[in-house]
Chain A
Amino acid sequence: MTASKAGTATEHPSSPAARVALRVRGAVFSPVTVSVVAALILGAIILAGTGADPLTAYGSVLTGAFGSEGIGDTLGECIPIVGLALALAIPLRAGLVNLGGDGQLVLGGLAAVSVGLYSPFPSAVTVVLALLAGMLAGGLWAALAAVLETRCGVPLLVSSLLLSYPAMSFVSYMVRFPLLQKGSGIPQTERLPEGVKLPEFAAGSGAGTGVSVGIVLIVLAAVIYFVVDHRTAAGYEVRMTGLGARFAGYAGVDRSRLTLRLMFASGSLAGLVGAITVLGFPYRMVDGALTTPGYTWTGLLAALLAAASPVGTVAAGFFFSALTIGGFGMEQETAVPQQLTAVLQAVVILFLAVRGGVFRKGGWLRRFGRGPDTAGHPPPDPEAGVLDTGMLTTGVLDTGVAGPPAPARGDGGK
């Protein structure tokens, strides 16, 4: 197998035009494109099944998301979705799954709103402090999940998710009781003092667009992620850990420390998203407002779709934001429930998982767990079991499949 593959790799097209053509063809037929198209086709079938005209419905998704009415909402939606997609992509790049985005998000929001309400400093300083507090809160909570894995052997997937629920309960309690707006029937905090907010972009005539400068922070985060991932030694180590955790460990990358740092960065970004959100309209924290839309899950799907690559994550996040906002447009136009977009998002990943090479055993995310090793397939990937223990089932339950056959003694078969 090896020889033939190496052989095809030598066929590099010489002319630039041919190279571009190859790239275009690669993009068009990439698993991601195929999965998205397949999901859209399935969506069309569902739409037809509910009696709606798929073309009209998809048209209304487009106008809803990108029309003059919708584009601002789409960009606004990008703050939480792209923000969380980036947040979750950071550990995912090393093969670590942070399922606790919701908890980190709401803690970030709570920390920011608390600072915003009680800070004695001028409003500009308060805004900065609130953002930092949000990042710190989210980051520490995520780091706790990392510690639970590296110190106590609770798999990160589980520890991060389980920590999320008490965080949400705690924030809900804080919003509904200590911080509750007096005399309000709605479970929300007091409004932040005048001036304690992220300014909004003006839409020409001075009217607000609903898009706060928070989007600049998200773009900044994306740029930093891109640079670190592509251009720094630290990013290199993260990528190598994602591609081969044992290789990285062998070469001296300290996995526990890496997990802790990535989770802190991840949680910080999630917390920042929470902070940005409460510092925007309606300038307060409303119980459930951050978690009900399921930003975390949409963001995780976007990160998975992009295999956590920086540019791809932003693109996928934008795509899902547009789909979400467009879904509301579709609902108004065609009465097809907007939940369909959530279905489509999940279906994209399903298709990608089964169709694409990236998630396959032996592919990019093989560390995620035991794929099937039915006979007839190559012998079990020696890495899979080891990584399992590192991430999914550390300590608590040894699920490692019993020993792989010793490396072939090279008798003939190569």
Chain B
Amino acid sequence: MSFDAELIFSALRALTPILFAALGGALCERAGVFNVSLEGTMLIGCFAAVTGSWFGGSVWVGVISAVLAAMVFSLLLAIGAVTLGADAVVLCIALNLLAVGLTGFLLRTIFGKQGTFGDPDLKGLQPVDIPGLESVPFLGRALSGHSPLVYLSWVAVVVIAVLLSRHPWGVRLRGVGEAPEAAQSLGVSVARYRYAAILTSGALCGLAGAQLALGNVTLFSENMTAGRGWIAVVAVMLGRALPIGVLLAGILFGLVEAVGFRLQGEGMPQQAADAAPYVMTLVALFLATRSRARRGAAAPPGRLTGRIPRPRRFARTTSESQS
């Protein structure tokens, strides 16, 4: 197998849905909401994208439907977790299941199909050639010719990075996640910022779904996210909820997926390729926590995550029970 431009190209394509979802997850994490409904929200996005594109006759109708549907879907999480005080993890588990059931149900009722809907007339995202870049030898083939959402995801990384570090909204959001009562005491509405984070995360998951269903392929099939939302959750952890960190973690998974896909073409069983991103994820998590445990003693807790946990009196965390 050669490490060539096509590999980078497919890695970047595989990266995009994970990256969008992980950016959304990172925003929620920063706001203090542990959002594990990325998988389901993305799936809703996939379905809405295909539906919008099919009935609207335009891929952009599809993309916009995906964003809106995913936002509405994540509104359920916001209302439940923020307004009604329900447990976010339980809600997210239910939402993920709801997404699977709902998309399956609607696939039958709207398209009359079971399993998969695809049609040659279904409009997918068209590749965009970047003028000037496309003629550059290696980079052109790796970076040019992606769907517009791929480029949008890169923009999103930068925008969210700037937002979190420099924009008042982002700075306040971080505060809300880190010390809600402190934020509230200064007149910053914790609920409002959490709503915003969850809804933005919904929109990003919608884009993730649109890219998956209209960019990477042009069809909808039941459960087509296949764990990408969970990999995004892990990317948030590995990337420490920083946009750039999330990007790097996402690139890792994208590469693994692309390499797996390539090896599959060279005779490796498909199952090995399927499993590779998850194995990679576990290894990465393992290494990350390992190195943290090793450095952990040196730095005060929280230094590595950019957050200071409360003094945890009895928290027999892993690093402790190890010793």
- A contacts B directly (C-beta below 8 A): yes
Total interface residues on B, CB under 8 Å, equals 87
Is B272 on the interface with A (CB-CB < 8 A)? yes
- State how many residues of chain A have any CB contact under 8 Å with chain B: 89
Q: Are A339 and B181 in contact (CB under 8 A)?
A: no
B196 at the binding interface (Cβ < 8 Å): no
State in angstroms the CA–CA spacing of A253 and B178 once bound together: 30
Q: Which residues of B contact A390 (CB under 8 A)?
A: 315-317
Task: Please determine whether A346 and B94 come into contact, CB atoms closer than 8 angstroms.
Answer: yes
Q: How far is the CB of A187 from chain B (nearest CB, A)?
A: 11
Q: Is the CB of B314 within 8 A of A339?
A: no
Main secondary structure of the interface of B (DSSP, over half): helix
Question: Which of A354, A385, A404 meets B91, CB within 8 Å?
Answer: A354
In Å, the complex CA distance between A390 and B317 comes to 6
A2-B293 Cα distance, complex, nearest whole Å: 42
Contact between B90 and A365, CB atoms less than 8 A apart: yes
With the chains together, A346 CA to B310 CA distance in Å? 34
Interface stretch of the complex, out of B8-16, B132-140, B231-239: B231-239
Select one of B101, B236, B238, B289 contacting A345, CB under 8 A: B101
Known: A353-B94, A389-B317. A401 touches B89 (CB 8 A): no
Given A368-B87, A372-B85, CB of A339 within 8 Å of CB of B104 = yes
B298 at the interface (CB under 8 A from A): no
* One of A158, A339, A402 near B182 (C-beta < 8 A): A402
* Given known A-B contacts A153-B293, A346-B95, A398-B305, A165 and B227 have beta carbons under 8 A apart: yes
B128 located at the interface, meaning its Cβ lies under 8 Å from any Cβ of chain A in the complex: no
Taking A152-B285, A397-B241, A401-B179 as contacts, is the C-beta distance between A165 and B275 under 8 angstroms?
yes
Quick one: given A176-B271, A395-B318, A396-B237, are A294 and B100 in contact (CB under 8 Å)?
yes
Are B318 and A371 in contact, with the CB atoms below 8 A? no
Contact B289 A337 (CB under 8 A): no
Q: In the docked arrangement, what's the CA distance between A355 and B282, Å?
A: 36
B166 within 8 A of A: no
> Does B206 sit at the interface, judged by CB under 8 A?
no
Instruction: Knowing A250-B314, A339-B108, say if A379 contacts B181 (CB, 8 Å).
Output: yes
Report which of A343, A360, A370 forms a contact with B34, defined as CB distance below 8 A.
Answer: A370
Known: A350-B76, A402-B179. A369 touches B34 (CB 8 A): yes
| B residues less than 8 Å from A374 (CB atoms) | 82, 180, 184, 189-191, 194
Q: Which chain A residue has the least Cβ–Cβ distance from B81?
A: A372
Question: Quick one: CB contact mask for A292-329 with B, threshold 8 Å, 1 for yes?
Answer: 00100100110010000000000000000000000000
Tell whether, in the assembled complex, residue B312 and residue A342 are in contact, meaning their CB atoms are under 8 Å apart.
no
Q: Given the complex, which residues of B lie within 8 Å of A405, measured CB to CB? A: 181
Scan residues 64-101 of chain A and give those whose CB is less than 8 A from a CB of chain B: 97, 99
Binds B, one of A134-142, A166-174, A193-201: A166-174
Q: In this assembly, does A249 line the interface, its C-beta being within 8 Å of a C-beta of chain B?
A: yes
Instruction: Return the chain A residue nearest B289 by Cβ.
Output: A153
Which of B85, B86, B236, B288 has the most chain A CB within a 10 Å cutoff? B86
Contact A162 B275 (CB under 8 A): no
Query: Please, what's the 1-or-0 string for B77-89, where 1 marks a CB less than 8 Å from any CB in chain A?
Result: 0011110111111
Rounded to whole angstroms, the CA-CA distance of A307 and B125 in the bound complex is 45
**Is B185's beta carbon under 8 Å from chain A?**
yes
B109 x A173 contact (CB < 8 A): no
Contacts of A255 in B (CB 8 A): 316, 321
Is B233 a contact of A158 with CB atoms below 8 Å?
A: yes
Bound CA span A339–B36, Å: 22
8 Å CB contacts to A: which residues of B275-323?
275, 278-279, 281-282, 285-286, 288-290, 292-293, 301-302, 305, 307-319, 321-322
In the complex, identify which listed stretch (A18-26, A143-151, A226-234) lies at the interface while the others stay far away.
A143-151
Q: Confirm or deny: A284 has a beta carbon within 8 angstroms of a beta carbon on chain B.
A: no
**What is the minimal beta-carbon distance from B173 to any residue of chain A, in angstroms?**
14
Complex contacts, B238 vs chain A, CB 8 Å: 396
A333 part of interface (Cβ distance < 8 Å): no
Task: Determine whether the beta carbon of B312 is less than 8 Å from that of A369.
Answer: no
In this complex, what residue of B is CB-closest to A386?
Answer: B315
Q: Which residue on B lies nearest to A403, using beta carbons?
A: B310
Contact A154 B286 (CB under 8 A): yes
CB closest chain-B residue, reference A161? B230
Return the CB mask of A187-214 against B: 1 if under 8 Å, else 0. Answer: 0000000000000000000000000000
| Residue A392 is within 8 A (CB to CB) of chain B in the complex | yes
Residue A271 at the B interface, CB < 8 A?
no
Chain A residues 377-394 with CB under 8 Å of chain B are 377, 379-380, 382, 385-386, 388-390, 392-394
**In the assembly, what is the distance between CA of A34 and CA of B227, in Å?**
32
Residues of A within 8 A of B97 (CB): 294, 297, 301, 342, 345-346, 349
In the complex, A44 has a CB within 8 A of chain B:
no
Complex CA gap A259/B236 in Å reads 25
A195 to B49, CA, bound (A): 51
**Chain B residue at smallest Cβ distance from A177:** B269
Question: CB-CB contacts of A29-72 with B at 8 A, as 1s and 0s?
Answer: 00000000000000000000010000000000000000000000
**Cross-chain pairs A/B with CB under 8 angstroms, 20 sampled:** A152-B286, A162-B234, A246-B314, A250-B314, A255-B316, A294-B97, A342-B100, A343-B102, A350-B91, A353-B94, A372-B180, A374-B191, A386-B315, A388-B34, A389-B309, A392-B89, A393-B34, A397-B241, A398-B308, A401-B180
Give A residues with C-beta under 8 Å from B: 50, 97, 99, 148-155, 157-159, 161-163, 165-166, 169-170, 172-173, 176-177, 246, 249-250, 255-256, 294, 297, 300-301, 304, 336-337, 339-347, 349-350, 353-355, 359-361, 363, 365-366, 368-377, 379-380, 382, 385-386, 388-390, 392-405
**In the A-B complex, the 3 residue pairs with the closest CB atoms:** A342-B101, A375-B184, A337-B108
Known interface pairs A402-B308, A402-B310; 9 further A-B residue pairs with C-beta atoms within 8 A, sorted by A's residue number: A162-B285, A304-B93, A337-B109, A339-B108, A360-B86, A366-B87, A369-B89, A385-B309, A393-B237
